[in-house]
Homo-oligomer: A and B are copies of this chain.
């Protein structure tokens, strides 16, 4: 087994949206090895039940732990919202970071009106996880945007369809909030149309940058920052042909070494 400092950072998401978090990790922590798991065979998580989301989240974390990661970043907002406390209770050996708390922290810093919108999947919004972390004097409005993920995956990020869908979900946030948390890793790709509907003055929060800072601080304080790595291994539970292009879009760089992960087989082989 490698020295703790040399071990990779593990990141997982329901699909490939979490690669936007990997992109940020690679920018801020270029010397770290990273292992990414995307559960693309069972994506999306956001319209499934809490029970199933907890089960899938644990299987994802388990996969990364067996590969010897030193920390786990739950890039998936749905798992972070619904199952983070559960994962922290079950997994004691490896520190776990979610994306909900960092997003809320930045939103509280940036909002002047103390009125903040949160957009995410059905499960994320229903959980109320963001709302529960805000200071009491904040007014928080949550909006589930279930069509945003398929739009992003289809590459429909502007034009009449994207505009109509953004209007449908966001019209009632307009002029009510000055800050909106992008509570799903797919949404940064739709930033342009969200801003178009909510007005140029809106502050959009992408938690990727903040969670990366948190991981950085954690590793720094414990002398666990690696400067000698820089490898990226991407595992997906399903690799459809059209994914290579999508991965490049989310990650911002080209990768060739995508590996297939079989979570069930992995569990059975224990």
Q: Report A's interface with B, CB cutoff 8 A.
A: 40-42, 47-49, 51-52, 56, 122-123, 146-147, 149-151, 153-154, 156, 160-161, 164-165, 168, 237-242, 264, 267-268
Contacts and interface: CB of A to CB of B under 8 A. Distances in A.
A52 B240 CA distance: 9
7 contacts: A41-B56, A42-B42, A48-B240, A49-B239, A149-B150, A160-B164, A268-B268
Nearest to A40: B48
Contacts of A56: 41
A228 to B, nearest CB: 35
Contact of A41 (B42, B164, B264): B42
A237 B242 CA distance: 27
A238 B48 contact: yes
Contact of A48 (B41, B122, B160): B41
A68 to B, nearest CB: 25
* Number of chain copies forming the complex: 2
A52 B41 contact: yes
Given A161-B161, A164-B161, A264-B264, A49 B150 contact: no
Nearest to A42: B42
A41 B41 CA distance: 10
Contact of A150 (B150, B238, B242): B150
A51 B241 CA distance: 11
A161 B148 CA distance: 13
A262 to B, nearest CB: 9
A156 B169 CA distance: 13
B168 A122 contact: no
A77 B56 CA distance: 26
A146 B240 CA distance: 14
A238 B52 contact: yes
A149 B47 CA distance: 13
A57 B168 CA distance: 36
Contacts of A122: 240, 242
A240 B82 CA distance: 13
A161 B168 contact: yes
Contact of A151 (B48, B147, B239): B147
A250 to B, nearest CB: 15
A268 to B, nearest CB: 7
Contacts of A161: 147, 161, 164-165, 168
A49 B241 contact: yes
